[in-house]
Amino acid sequence: MCGISGIWEFKNSVDKNILQKMNKIQQHRGPDDSGTMLTNRVGLGHQRLSIIDLSPKGKQPMSNENNSIWITFNGEIYNFQTLREELTKKGHRFKSDSDTEVIIHGYEEWGVNVVKKLRGMFAFAIWDSNNKIMFLARDRVGKKPLWYYKDKEKLVFASELKSLIQHPEIPRMINKKAISYYLSLGYIPHPISIFENIHKVEPAQAIIINQKEIKKYNYWNYEFKPTNKSFEQLKKELRTTLSEAIKLRMISDVPLGAFLSGGIDSSIIVALMSRFSDKVKTFSIGFEEQDYNELPDARIIAEKYNTDHKEFIVKPDAIKILPKLAYYYNEPYSDSSAIPSYYLAQITRKHVTVALNGDGGDENFAGYDRYTIDNFYKKLYFKKTLSRLSKFIPEFTNKHPLRKLKRVLQIANLDGKEQYYDFLKTFSRQEKTKLMLNQELADLPTQNIIFDEMQKEKEFVNQALFADIKYYLPCDLLVKIDIATMANSLEARSPFLDQEVMNLTMQIPWQYKLKGFDKKHILKQTFKDLLPQHTIKKPKWGFGVPLPHWFRNELKEFTHDTINSQEFKNRKLFNTNECNKILEQHTTRKQDNSFKLWNLLCLEQWYSIYVDGERISL
């Protein structure tokens, strides 16, 4: 895993100092080595985290034999050995044992179609000097990030926004629509970014750029094609395919382990890893608050498979970590599970360089409550009455079962897509109208971004799965794990997001994934011989932190001072009275507004660092 950057000046020479600044600011993504390639018009940068072929031969940027093709690459190609054999038979000669060189020779052989051959996680840029094109590509589900800016004079790209804006000629004009989307979702959906004219390469997207135009296309599409195969046959294929995906991801020239939460997904990963390794290294974190502590569940799996298990109790300092998260996440981002993810990655990196995880299990096999809502509400009568009854249920912490009941009743009168969106949103359209000073921005229909994707499927469960894989997975969850791990120079690998696993899950009828209210049904049935009944029956927990408690205690004064500060008011974004009302409702337990408050804090902290230029200690 690495950090990449590059500049193509169409008229002028590349400034070496700018390229080096862009490269250096991403050193956390690759502290093992640094490299640049510079010609008159093109410059490529690379920060290396050495995983495969630790020798100097794996150094990047890397070129072909005559230096006509150059690449800067971030990621891992798990089928590189197979591709290497195929290319060798076609006459290609290799000078290293790295997966990077396979992409170069693959480009020579197959052109831009090389991307269709790659099985792994990646974001790369190839400079083809013969054809004067820059080829950008990103993996199928968006595990590795890639940002870019293009005007009439230049193209600039990088793994992270903070690298891109080191170029002094890139304007930093705030995209106000992006702020409205962020308030709704807690993230900014691709392809836009927090800055106007800076874009994200989308998952499964390839971009061919010359001086005159940009050609974008998707080289892979996620679409459901239910098979007629039996449940038992699909179970066999799932077991074989996921096992292979895990085995491929255990190829490494550096120490390797796994995140273990004790949930179904990470437990399956560890169980299968144990079949390929004598002593799997596993890592778990917990909190002093028992409602947020999964250590006992993780310990059950660690003991069952005799792993080399390390667990840690962390005491998060929210005020101290907030500026770090705002800096590392590049643009406003308010998924509070970024906090435990950061601490887990930090602790894990002290022992290994690569960690497998269970990301993608919920999105592939229908693991969230929101997938069950359509089936549930079809069985309800008197929906309007039930919706009114929700007002009489008091507020509880987000781990309390009555909180879930209250939310279920609140949305009883909405249609399926609106119910799904309600599970995702932070601020509703109506709440933004009260909160935001710019009513045109407040009225932006963020939900239509999601609904447009859902319309591509007929069945509700497939609609929800499709929307999650299109937006929630790449824009929220995969951003979280990439930044949390890369901030600590740790590589994360996700077997559930292997393309062959996903190609298989696209064929599995949704009725096998969700049987009544039994979420992940086929996954549980496939691996029930490997997991204790406790693990299979345990309700989904989620990787959370005690935000409700924090905002009534240690974050209360800090939040009050922030939303009443002159800097906050000078943004001219929000009605200060409404912000204070949101805080007051929470501290007096009238309403749980913890996610809303965290959303506002993260946004203001981002402004302080990326707009005001506030320096922070990392």
* Token pair for 379: 């069985």
Residues of the chain with CATH 3.40.50.620: 231-366+479-537
Q: Which pLDDT band holds residue 576 (cuts at 50, 70, 90)?
A: very high
Statement: residue 394 has pLDDT above 70: no
The more confident residue out of 392 and 473 is 473
Confidence of residue 538 (pLDDT cuts 50, 70, 90): confident
Residue 111 CA: distances (Å) to CA of 1, 79, 108, 114, 185 = 24, 18, 6, 6, 38
Strands, E assignment, 15-132: 33-38, 42-48, 62-63, 69-77, 120-128
Q: What interhelical angle do 594-610 and 318-328 show, nearest 10?
A: 60
Predicted pLDDT of residue 295: 92
Cα separations in angstroms, 487 against 142, 165, 349: 18, 18, 10
Identify the CA nearest to 36 among candidates 10, 16, 51, 65.
16
Q: What token pair was written down for 411?
A: 């949305």
Give whole-number Cα distances, 275 to 243, 247, 288, in Å: 9, 9, 33
Q: What is the DSSP secondary structure assignment for residue 487, as one 8-state letter? A: T
Mean pLDDT is highest, among 171-185, 305-319, 391-405, for 171-185
Cα 501 vs. chain centroid, distance in angstroms? Answer: 18
Distances (CA, A) of 258 to 285, 311, 344, 360, 448: 12, 12, 11, 15, 37
Q: Residues 312-319: what's their mean pLDDT?
A: 86
What the block records as the tokens of 465 is 């799965």
Is domain 231-366+479-537 annotated with CATH 3.40.50.620? yes
Cα separation, 234 vs 228, in Å, equals: 10
94's enclosing H/E stretch is: none
Average pLDDT of span 409-434: 84
Q: In this structure, how many other beta carbons lie within 10 angstroms of the beta carbon of residue 381? A: 6
Q: How confident is the model at residue 550 (pLDDT cuts 50, 70, 90)?
A: very high
Residue 226: which of 505, 449, 428 has the closest Cα? 505
Of residues 186, 59, 49, 177, the one with CA closest to residue 482: 49
Regarding predicted confidence, which is higher, 252 or 598? 598
Kindly give the pairing relationship between strand 308-314 and strand 198-200. Answer: unpaired
User: For the segment 84-109, what is each residue's pLDDT rounded down to a tens digit?
Assistant: 999 999 999 999 989 999 999 999 99
- What residues form DSSP beta bridges with 256? 354
- Is 579 noted as a catalytic residue in this protein? no
Cross-sheet strand order for the sheet of 491-493: 308-314, 281-287, 256-259, 354-356, 491-493
Does the pLDDT value for residue 413 go beyond 80? no
Banded model confidence at residue 387, pLDDT cuts 50, 70, 90 = low
Mean pLDDT of 390-418: 64
Helical (H) or strand (E) element with 117: none
pLDDT of the residue at 317 = 87
pLDDT digits 0-9 by tens, 109-143: 999 999 999 999 999 999 999 999 999 999 999 99
Q: Which residues contact 102 (CB under 8 A, 6 or more apart)?
A: 77, 80, 83, 84, 87, 94
User: CA–CA distance from 117 to each of 30, 86, 87, 102 (Å)?
Assistant: 25, 11, 12, 11
Out of 2, 475, 579, 602, the active site residue is 2
50: pLDDT confidence band, cut at 50, 70 and 90? confident
Higher pLDDT, residue 517 or 597: 597
**81 has a pLDDT exceeding 70:** yes
Mean pLDDT over residues 186-193, rounded?
A: 97
Cβ pair 360, 382 in contact under 8 A: no
Structure tokens at 540: 């989904």
The answer on pLDDT for 397 being more than 70 is no
pLDDT band at 391 (very low <50, low <70, confident <90, very high): low
Distance CA 429, CA 442 (A): 7
CA dihedral of residues 201, 205, 210, 214 (deg, nearest 10): -80
Comparing C-alpha atoms, which of 425, 472, 407, 432 is closest to residue 595? 425
| Residue ranges matching CATH 3.60.20.10 in the chain | 2-218
Residues sharing a CB contact under 8 Å with residue 596, sequence separation 6 or more, in sequence order: 426, 427, 431, 582
CATH of the domain spanning 2-218: 3.60.20.10
pLDDT-wise least confident of 310-314, 375-379, 539-543: 375-379
Residue found by looking up tokens 């345990």 in the block? 538
| Structure tokens, 14 | 């590349």
pTM > 0.85: yes
CA distance 493 to 119: 12
Residue 378 three-state SS? coil
Structure tokens at 517: 């209210």
Closest CA relative to residue 452, chosen from 440, 433, 470: 470
Please say if the pLDDT value at position 38 is more than 90.
yes
Residue pair 361/523 in contact (Cβ under 8 Å)? The answer is yes
For residue range 481-521, what is the model confidence (pLDDT) as tens digits?
A: 999 999 999 999 999 999 999 999 999 999 999 998 899 99
List the one residue out of 267, 325, 323, 341 whose CA is nearest residue 300.
267
The model's confidence at residue 585, banded by pLDDT at 50, 70 and 90, is very high
CA 494 to chain centre: 11
| pLDDT for the residue numbered 518 | 94
In this prediction, residue 288 has a pLDDT band, given cuts at 50, 70 and 90, of confident
Euclidean distance between the first and the last CA atom of the chain, given in angstroms as a whole number: 21
Question: Cα(422)–Cα(405) distance, rounded to whole angstroms?
Answer: 14
Question: How does strand 147-150 pair with strand 154-158?
Answer: antiparallel
Please report where in the chains the tokens 């038992």 appear, as a residue: 232
In terms of residues, how long is the chain? Answer: 618
Place of tokens 């009941």: 405
Interacting residues of 577 by C-beta distance below 8 A, sequence separation 6+: none
Q: Could you give the CA distance from residue 159 to residue 482 in angstroms, rounded to a whole number?
A: 11
Tell me the DSSP string of 181-245: HHHHHSS--TT--SBTTEEEPPTTEEEEE-SS-EEEEES-----------HHHHHHHHHHHHHHH
